[in-house]
Chains A and B, each alone.
Chain A
Amino acid sequence: MSDPYPRAPSTHVPVLRLGDVLLVTLQGDLHDSTAEQLQQDIGEAIARSSVSGVVIDISGVEIVDSFLGRVLAEIAAKARLLAAQTVVAGMRPAVAITLVELGLTLPGMRTALDAQDALGMLTRQAASSRPAHARQESP
């Protein structure tokens, strides 16, 4: 199988801010230590910039094992405690099939087909939550 992404394992994952959302793009093979570093970086970035959403694009990730699955679940849990929603975007079909057989269905994790859909989900949600919030405040 040809692979457009570099095979060298990445040692740092950039966390980009797009308005109210953090965008993280994972590519290739992630070392355990890189994944743990990322978990810490995202937590700090959410706290620092008070974003309302996190999009993790895994379309460039060839395998998700139980370790990386746990890291993704913990990022989502940490983000939720900091009032941010996490959406995992672009999971490859072969990865999804493998995760189910592995027994790792990541319940509670929101997913989208690609990063653009994920950003749309978070934007729509932000737009619809404002009037709802206003209604709750009215007597």
Chain B
Amino acid sequence: MSMRKMIAEKVLWETLKRWKKLSPELGRIQFLKTVPIFNELSTWQLKKVGGIVFERTYDVGELIFEEGQPGAALFLIIEGQVSVEILKEKFTAKLAVLEKGAFFGEMALLDESPRSASARVMEPTRTLALYRNDLHRLIQTDPETACQIYKALARIVGDRLRSTNDMVQAEGPAEKIAA
């Protein structure tokens, strides 16, 4: 990072701290910095991302999204607990329980395919939602930030694919899967 950028960031942090010590904007930027998709972004860039995300609050039992619905946004958990589940023939299988700092629904940022699972709130939850088209628009207004987000997203999706492959390979030989 260049000297000029570092100074500019420092000035921004100081201003933000002085201006709004407990402001939601500052809290949002600090939170975004902890999320893997955004942790390589500078404060200026996080401020920009913070300006395009939507904050939503959910009650226990509420569905954030449903399996089969078109996906439009990525969700980041600021606080609370969310269960990711899929509907089997007669029961609901819980795939994962996500907590503060986790994110889900990232495939919606890449395409318009239907949601592969549902997300149900287990504890009162606050989330930040990043809408696909807002990220697309960021390509035009701030290509550097948009590219960094997509790069991080590609890395995360790749990691998840790799770990899924490992899991499948650990379960049995390849022929069995093909059969």
Do A and B associate with each other? no
